[in-house]
Structure 1
Amino acid sequence: MSEEDLKILSCHFTWGLEKENADLNFLDVKICERLAVQCEYKENVQQREYNFLAYIKHLQGVNDEALKNLELAIKEHTGDEKNLIVTYGNLAWLHSVMGNVAEAKSYVEKVKDIFRAFPTPSPTDLHREVQSEKAWSLLKFSRKSYIRAKEIFFEALQKDADDQEWNTGLAFALFRLEGLEVGEVRRVRFEESPAVVQLKRALKLHPDNAMIHVYLGLKCYKNTRNTEAWEYMRKALKMAPDNLGVVLHVAKFMKKEQCYDMALEVLLRMLRKAPDSSRLHHEIANNYRWKAMQMKDTHNPRLLSLCIQHLEKGASLNPGFIYPQLELALRYAEAKQSQKAEHKFQELVALPDLKPADRQAWHRMYGDFHLYRLGSEAAAVEHYKQGMMLRRVSTEWNICKNRLKKVLQRDRRDTYQIKKFFDSLKTENLSAAE
């Protein structure tokens, strides 16, 4: 079997989904948690989930797990044979990578048989089922592939302008791209947002899609149309009470609205259906934390204990997610367990291949630990500086900067040479721009 036989297959292995562009741990956990929730999957969505998860497992270097998921994808197959083109393509590639040449050849032949039974107008055209799975995979994989996903959805709509799935896909792609382009400072006016226009069009064609309601709700909220936002969120939750993604979005919205008890009710109800969701445990912990702050009782023993309990559970379920564990270290400190907090901080910083964003968060939170719990301002300043020196790899950069500014306001003599440090960063930025 030649390499060309594999390259012409349209599947996850040939769609340019590079592992350095994605958070593989996050994708792995997200899909596994979604699959674990007992809910009704429409059409071949569950098959696609197993396909996608199989590719993530391959990128993580666990091909045996990838193979198991592709076998599950075949079991979940519904509809005609065209829905198996991507699965068979993935199996051909995976068996080739694993050195199983005969098996790889057999799956290449299976794809060719489907092509012969269901020919496309031209060799370069993709079957609708393949085009659809490719677009959704790109949209799920990484922010760097959002544009490619949008282009596929847009191109498909040129053939059928009223297609429900394509309109929904384009709406989701525009929503995510607009979020990247606009950021947190500037907002696109609700009436001028291409994402809003497309979301409303998609809603007319697909009124029972809960996530469309969620995204429109978020757009309303960002434009201070809170009454409308609540309407969309309530409809979404009523439509899909078992959809983990919908529940998390709605609960986070409620948290932003400072309705912590309401958010906890929604989250704890979902937790009964998905007890092993690390994301649920993290969000529950956040709400207990914010509820205590709302009560102006940050060290409330009951709420702090519940917060720690859920952070610990989340960490045990997803040890690869560092941020909640950093929060856990700070909560230990608040519970006057400084040694436990120190141990957790040292355990995390010693992890191999710590991502720059995680390392920046570590410096910021370890700085907070020194400043607010140990009373060591000098040590805190040093860690805030270290965090800023990692550049703008996360929102923690601005937090480090603001922490330093507060210290500077308290000490006009600039004991820690903070002004000099800020000046050095400006000089470096100017040099890099030249």
Structure 2
Amino acid sequence: MSDAGRTLLSRLLRLESRFTWDLKKKDLDLEGLSTRLQEQIDLGVGQQSAIANSYSFLAYVRYLQGRPEEAASLLSQSEEKTRECFGEESERRLIVTYGDLAWLSYHSGDFTQSDTYCRRVEDILVKYPTGSPTVLHPEVYGEKAWTFLKFSVHYYPKAIICFLKALELQPDDSEWNAGYAITLCRKELIDPETFLEAEESPAVKQLRRALEIDPDDAVLLALLALKLSSYEKHQEAESLMERVLEIGPDSPHVTRYVAKYLRQQHTETLNIVFLIYFRILKKAQKSVLLPAVLEGLANFAHLINLEFFDDLLNVLQNLIQSGDLTNRESLHCIQTAFNILSGQGDVLNIDPLKFYSHLYKTLLRLHAGAPNGDIIIVLRCLDVMLTRRRKQVSLQRAMAFVKRLSTLSLHVLPNASVGILASNRAVLHAFPKCDLLLDNEVQGSGFFLPELDEPEHCNPQNTALWELHSLQRHFHPAVRRFAVHLCHGAPSDGSAALGVELSRRSPVELFEDYSVKDMTFNPPVATPSTKKKDRFGGGTTLLDADLQSRVERALTATEEETPDFTAAYTHTHTESDT
């Protein structure tokens, strides 16, 4: 090895990176870990910062699997997500990512690129010194801890140490407190100790501490409920779970904990409830209880046993085709079907095309009147049907939904328009080729059939999202911002990028945030100015300079200087006679 190579290797060994944290391949279940991390990315589990970390975690796994090109791509995506999430404060969050990129470039033989990433890390450390060479930034301790926690149970003690060091530097940080609480919970599961009271458990103590900082963290609330339930504090546990369902009903991570709690506490009750539901669906389809049954199934479909799935999907399909359901009831049927298919039901060989077609047909029945409240069900359906199942959805189907949703956004209330446009943004990110709809050139043969209710056959590639140009003149500022953002292809940076307050929130959250049900406008309407405007503005008011000068002379003339219009007329008359 040359002197330059040895110098570079010496610098690399000083970096904080997964390549230097002594992560032994023999301790890792690479296939299982790879699957879990990919699912977390696909489902968008956790906050945006957690998703960014999942990309970098998966990159290291791909390197260990002998796929360095994919690892480099994942690290680049991690950098992009981190910058999108933290903006100007992202540099310290990128120390480990740049360290991984430096090592990956080194192992690929690209020493120049490796040196570039080394310099980036060194520049960040100079810009943000810790005061001691043995002390790391809390962001580095945090990412190191999350890595140990996710990679293997063998590294849980190291994860605890790293979270504690991060908390020494930032004791009130919500992320480090939550991570420490989760680690303690997992440690107590694999290494149970006997605590007579719940408050003696370190995990319970830390969960309460983390919830003091972030009382609306649904995952922590669910974990605390599970811990309290194990100590037979059922009343408090049930109260916590009710809050969980209010805060995060659409989070797959939260859903898993809720299901675990319900299986522990209410297995028999659930069996009875679902038995009643199924009897009503099969034998009392005209019952007044049907709407409540469909809504209940939509919310708890993921708890139904696998052996009921096939029959239940057939019943739901027959209900929809009967034409006897309201729009809301039909939407609940669709939501139930896809909640089943996105969970354990993905092993079933069932083609849900008819459910896609029915949702596509139902969209244009919604409007700004009473059905506006049904849009929130549509948004939940779209998340499951298009975003999470993107690998099973054709480009034609995705473009058709984007087009029809854009049309729907023109005749619903502002909060529904914002939610719909946010869903379109998610679809554009999941299907980048949908940007064909931003071009006015015809793709292929045929022409767009807007009246056709089959998304696969309406030729959406031969139309354009002209609705976005109309929405750029919408009275609501959030709708205008989304329309401009989508017209530019939904970029993550630049002048057309969305702000953090819009880009980090889900379509359902945006629908609720901008709701006008309480007769309030978000953002508030500015109060009229009380300052009186001047009657006349300054400056030249006439285009003709000669006429303007005459007017000014007339306005400034004194009473003795009364203009003699007769003389002026006579002079002109005499001159013309001549």
User: TM-score, normalized by length of structure 1?
Assistant: 0.59
Tell me what 2:39 maps to: 33
Alignment partner of 1:170 is 2:180: yes
C-alpha distance in structure 1 between counterparts of 2:127 and 2:144, whole Å: 21
Tell me what 2:71 maps to: 66
Contact persistence 1:187–1:222 (CA under 8 A): no
C-alpha distance in structure 1 between counterparts of 2:22 and 2:47, whole Å: 27
Tell me what 1:202 maps to: 210
Q: Which moved more, 1:222-231 or 1:80-89?
A: 222-231
Q: 1:288 aligns with which of 296, 305, 314?
A: 305
Q: Secondary structure at the match of 2:76?
A: helix
C-alpha distance in structure 1 between counterparts of 2:210 and 2:64, whole Å: 33
Contact persistence 1:247–1:266 (CA under 8 A): no
Alignment partner of 1:223 is 2:231: yes
Tell me how far 1:12 sits from its aligned partner.
1.6
Q: 1:116 aligns with which of 114, 117, 126?
A: 126
Alignment partner of 1:75 is 2:84: no
C-alpha distance in structure 2 between counterparts of 1:255 and 1:231, whole Å: 16
Contact persistence 2:45–2:51 (CA under 8 A): no
Alignment partner of 1:24 is 2:30: yes
Tell me what 2:152 maps to: 142
The change in CA–CA distance for 1:39 and 1:202 in structure 2 (over 3 A counts) is closer
Q: Deviations over 1:284-312 (max 9, x none)?
A: 5x8415x87xxxxxxx9837999999767
Contact persistence 2:45–2:252 (CA under 8 A): no
Q: Secondary structure at the match of 1:158?
A: helix
Contact persistence 1:74–1:84 (CA under 8 A): yes
C-alpha distance in structure 1 between counterparts of 2:256 and 2:171, whole Å: 32
C-alpha distance in structure 2 between counterparts of 1:160 and 1:132, whole Å: 10
C-alpha distance in structure 1 between counterparts of 2:167 and 2:23, whole Å: 23
Contact persistence 2:139–2:166 (CA under 8 A): no
The change in CA–CA distance for 1:124 and 1:56 in structure 2 (over 3 A counts) is same
Q: Which moved more, 1:131-140 or 1:25-34?
A: 25-34
The change in CA–CA distance for 1:109 and 1:192 in structure 2 (over 3 A counts) is same
Q: What is the identity, as a one-letter code, of the residue corresponding to 2:11?
A: D
Tell me what 1:275 maps to: none
Q: Which moved more, 1:204-213 or 1:235-244?
A: 235-244
The change in CA–CA distance for 1:314 and 1:96 in structure 2 (over 3 A counts) is farther
For CA contacts below 8 A with separation 6 or more, give which structure has more relative contact order. 1
Tell me how far 1:18 sits from its aligned partner.
2.2
Contact persistence 1:37–1:242 (CA under 8 A): no
Q: Which moved more, 1:306-315 or 1:140-149?
A: 306-315
Q: What is the identity, as a one-letter code, of the residue corresponding to 1:233?
A: M
Tell me what 2:164 maps to: 154
Q: Which runs of 5+ in 1 are unaligned?
A: 272-282, 293-299, 317-434
How many residue pairs were aligned?
292
Q: Deviations over 1:253-292 (max 9, x none)?
A: 2223212567x99998589xxxxxxxxxxx95x8415x87
C-alpha distance in structure 2 between counterparts of 1:143 and 1:267, whole Å: 37
Map 1:246-285 → 2, pairs under 5 A? 246-256=254-264, 257-258=266-267, 259=270, 284=302
Q: 1:313 aligns with which of 346, 358, 370?
A: 346
Tell me what 1:90 maps to: 100
C-alpha distance in structure 2 between counterparts of 1:20 and 1:315, whole Å: 35
Q: Deviations over 1:143-163 (max 9, x none)?
A: 111111111222333344433
C-alpha distance in structure 2 between counterparts of 1:267 and 1:73, whole Å: 38
C-alpha distance in structure 2 between counterparts of 1:101 and 1:267, whole Å: 59
Tell me how far 1:134 sits from its aligned partner.
0.9
Tell me how far 1:32 sits from its aligned partner.
2.0
The change in CA–CA distance for 1:203 and 1:98 in structure 2 (over 3 A counts) is same
Q: What is the identity, as a one-letter code, of the residue corresponding to 1:249?
A: Y
Tell me what 1:302 maps to: 311
Structure number with greater Rg is 2
Q: What is the identity, as a one-letter code, of the residue corresponding to 2:128?
A: F
C-alpha distance in structure 1 between counterparts of 2:296 and 2:136, whole Å: 41
Q: Which moved more, 1:132-141 or 1:23-32?
A: 23-32
Tell me what 1:243 maps to: 251
Q: What is the identity, as a one-letter code, of the residue corresponding to 2:69?
A: D
C-alpha distance in structure 1 between counterparts of 2:297 and 2:21, whole Å: 38
The change in CA–CA distance for 1:315 and 1:122 in structure 2 (over 3 A counts) is farther
User: TM-score, normalized by length of structure 2?
Assistant: 0.45
Q: 1:5 aligns with which of 7, 11, 17?
A: 11
Map 1:352-371 → 2, pairs under 5 A? none
Alignment partner of 1:190 is 2:198: yes
Tell me what 1:408 maps to: none
Tell me what 1:358 maps to: none
Tell me how far 1:64 sits from its aligned partner.
1.6
C-alpha distance in structure 2 between counterparts of 1:254 and 1:171, whole Å: 22
Q: What is the identity, as a one-letter code, of the residue corresponding to 1:71?
A: S
The change in CA–CA distance for 1:107 and 1:239 in structure 2 (over 3 A counts) is same
Q: What is the identity, as a one-letter code, of the residue corresponding to 1:30?
A: R
Map 1:34-49 → 2, pairs under 5 A? 34-37=40-43, 41-42=47-48, 44-49=49-54
Tell me how far 1:314 sits from its aligned partner.
4.2
The change in CA–CA distance for 1:124 and 1:309 in structure 2 (over 3 A counts) is closer
Q: Which runs of 5+ in 2 are unaligned?
A: 278-293, 315-336, 350-578
Tell me how far 1:243 sits from its aligned partner.
2.2
The change in CA–CA distance for 1:40 and 1:66 in structure 2 (over 3 A counts) is same
Structure with the bigger percentage of helix: 1
C-alpha distance in structure 2 between counterparts of 1:132 and 1:309, whole Å: 32
Q: Secondary structure at the match of 1:124?
A: coil
Q: What is the identity, as a one-letter code, of the residue corresponding to 2:61?
A: I
Q: Deviations over 1:90-126 (max 9, x none)?
A: 1011112222222112111111121222222112221
- Aligned-residue CA RMSD (Å): 3.5
Q: Deviations over 1:185-244 (max 9, x none)?
A: x67631321111111111111112111101101102212222322222232232223322
The change in CA–CA distance for 1:179 and 1:38 in structure 2 (over 3 A counts) is closer
